[in-house]
Amino acid sequence: MAQGLTRVPVREQNPKVRATNFEEVCYGYNKEEAVEEAKRCLGCKKPKCVEGCPVSINIPEFIAAVKEEKFDEAFKIISQSSALPAVCGRVCPQESQCEGKCVRGIKGDPVAIGKLERFVADWARENGIKPEAPAEKNGKKVAVIGSGPSGLTCAGDLAKLGYDVTIFEALHKAGGVLVYGIPEFRLPKDRVVGPEVENVKSLGVKIETDVIIGKTVTIDELIENEGFDAVFIGSGAGLPKFMGIPGETACGVLSANEFLTRNNLMKAFDESYDTPIVHGKKVVVVGGGNVAMDAARTALRLGGETHIVYRRSEEELPARKEEVHHAKEEGIIFDLLTNPVEIIVDENDWVKGVKCIKMELGEPDASGRRRPVEVPGSEFVIDCDTVVMSLGTSPNPLISSTTKGLEINKRKCIVATEDTGATSKEGVYAGGDAVTGAATVILAMGAGKAAAKGIHEYLSQK
Amino acid sequence: MFKILEAEQLSANVYKQVILAPRVAKSCEPGQFIILRVDEHGERIPLTICDYDREAGTVTIVFQPIGVSTNKLVALKAGDSIADFVGPLGHPSDLVTDDFEEVKKKKVVFIAGGVGTAPVYPQAKWLHEHGIECDIIVGARTKDILIMEEEMSKVGNLYLCTDDGSYGFKGVGTAMLEKLVSEGHHYDLCVAIGPMIMMKFACLTTKKLGIPTVVSMNPIMVDGTGMCGACRVMVGDEVKFACVDGPEFDGHKIDFDQAMKRAAMYKTEEGRRFLAFKEGATHHGGCGNCGGDK
């Protein structure tokens, strides 16, 4: 193959070994590898990659700095646009964003933008480089609800503009899905997420954990009694969906949110933590998204034979290709074109199997995907002792139901303008999964960025 | 961190702590609960609010040490702190939120079992403060595990029962209720709070007596905000999340047998961790799980 067509490969943990531990799968580039990969960037005048990035990082410029081994300069360039580069470099679906637009990708591999971003962020952390705090405060207070990707981004941007920002988080740890949802082996908590949150705090952002907006205090009270001039809602989409099939409340049936929260946030896989987890001997994960892959790979690491049950075919799996590939390498079994119809339980109300029906693909539906249709009489039972339901999530109605004048749509999502995040209530902005329903980390960050701009414009005129 | 202002032993196996948590104290109502985490390695456990002082910014919890977390908690003294204390969670009691004129017309009887006495207290106290008289039946196995007799007697007509007859009426709380009804007492509503098995039998009795009954469910919880569904309970034909839809439900619609099986879901896992906690460095597979060679 001609030189420059293939990307510098990234070192990974051996699949057989990593299937038994919670260490990070991908080791990332070292200095030499990063510089070599950076040399593949053509430094386009009109860079398509930047268009593909929801927070518009100046990609050619930071890669040029990497090429010249000016890593601190590269970090500064990324930090102008992103507050969470070590996270995004790891979990963004680059193939459909920046890397999907890279001209190198037309003939050969696109430049490994995500891995380079990750390298720069990891290098900055290891060398103690932090983003710079603003010189002056402007005396205005903004409350940010939720410390997930949208909230952290919005808070970081507002702090850089001189606002006095407080993030309110319901859980005991900041990070949202970064700490409770995405597993340790894809996104290390103490090593990567923790320092990234600390970076946002070093910009002057205060984080108050253990505060549930809508219960502990309402948005109206924050504005009326605590002197906040504006509010950003980044409360995400955290309510799990269940199938509504018989037997779903049996012992051993968990939502992916519960299963992952026990493992990631509560560290149930580690004996020195108090939270227990079911170590299933044979686990069925229902669903085909990234969360399903995370749950399945977690169950596998806890020692169980793990199956993914999905009603469409491999082609339609909504999960990232890389995640599906990793799951297969580790030994996850895919039962495709299969849909559960009933959970079968034993005399103690524990799961002993899932009754499934075979599916075939019919005509494309409104979303353009071929609709799965049941094959009559094809029911069969998969024996198992644990079932993890990973069917998606929806926004929690707690905030919308306790805030006067906040409009929501029929999917319980908060209605907000895309470019400014403005909601139907003056001074209240929203973004991320709370507005769009479950989407990606980087889209939530983009929305947090847009809302920070919207809030700044609003408060500047006030 | 949340500071423990008072720590007190109420009976042979029940403890009370007063926690400084101004935000929770300001917004909580009877019937709601909190979730706490003792330390950085701790799990999140739900406990019902027993009392609160909005001025002082304190919330009172009452608990029974049964596993790792509650035993860790009991070991803490006044002046110590716990890592996390979040709430209020769940809906307030209907007695507090329903139309007051309607509530006023109701004759309410509470049945409290064991440590369930604690969550009954703020409800009875609320009624008392609003000029509504209620009857309270408090049951315990023996005299030495009865709690809050003095506080309870101030907020309602108190009927004490012990299984062994060591104090008050000899028999369980439901037997006391049947006795009161046979003596001509009439009740429009029963609120039963205690161990799941006690609530189940209370509901069987009140169904027979035709008294609408509310119970406070205490399933396994993780976050307590509706994001995981660990606390799912069957209420009639519907799946409900006790943390956001409850914790109080129509007791006559609850599938208690299933709820009790779900509550035992982590029993062996919990027991194993508790043994490891109790035995500390001397734990060498006494639970039989690691074969002693770890």
Nearest CA distance, A438 vs chain B (angstrom) = 13
Q: At a CB cut-off of 8 Å and minimum separation 6, what does A20 contact?
A: A301
pTM metric for this prediction: 0.92
Does the beta-carbon distance from A238 to B261 stay under 8 Å?
no
B226 vs A209, A254, A396: nearest CB: A396
Per-residue pLDDT of B113-143, as tens digits, reads 988 999 999 999 999 999 999 999 999 888 8
User: Binding site, residues of B?
Assistant: 62-64, 228, 231, 243
Predicted confidence at residue B266, as pLDDT, reads 85
| Contact status, residue A242 vs residue B228, Cβ threshold 8 Å | no
| Contact status, residue B82 vs residue B72, Cβ threshold 8 Å | no
Per-residue pLDDT of A65-109, as tens digits, reads 999 999 999 999 999 888 899 999 998 889 889 999 999 999 999
Q: At a CB cut-off of 8 Å and minimum separation 6, what does A438 contact?
A: A237, A392, A393, A394
Per-residue pLDDT of A337-394, as tens digits, reads 999 999 999 998 999 999 999 999 988 887 777 889 999 999 999 999 999 999 999 9
Does the beta-carbon distance from B225 to A210 stay under 8 Å?
no
Q: Do the bridges between strand B232-235 and strand B238-241 make them parallel or antiparallel, or are there none, so unpaired?
A: antiparallel
Sequence-ordered alpha helix ranges (H) in A202-354: 219-225, 256-260, 290-301, 321-330
Chain B CB contacts of A240 under 8 Å are 227-229
Q: Do the bridges between strand A206-208 and strand A164-168 make them parallel or antiparallel, or are there none, so unpaired?
A: parallel
Mean pLDDT of A402-421: 93
- For A74-85, give the DSSP string: HHHHHHTT-S-H
Does the beta-carbon distance from A209 to B37 stay under 8 Å?
no
ipTM, two decimals, is 0.90
Q: Do the bridges between strand A141-145 and strand A164-168 make them parallel or antiparallel, or are there none, so unpaired?
A: parallel
pLDDT at B282 exceeding the cut of 70: no
For B223, the closest chain A residue by CA position comes to: A171
- pLDDT band of B293, cuts 50, 70, 90: very low
Retrieve residue A426's tokens. 């003056």
Chain B CB contacts of A170 under 8 Å are 86, 223, 225
Nearest to A408 by CA among A397, A419, A420, A421: A397
Per-residue pLDDT of B216-263, as tens digits, reads 999 999 999 999 999 999 999 999 999 999 999 999 999 999 999 998
Does the beta-carbon distance from A216 to B24 stay under 8 Å?
yes
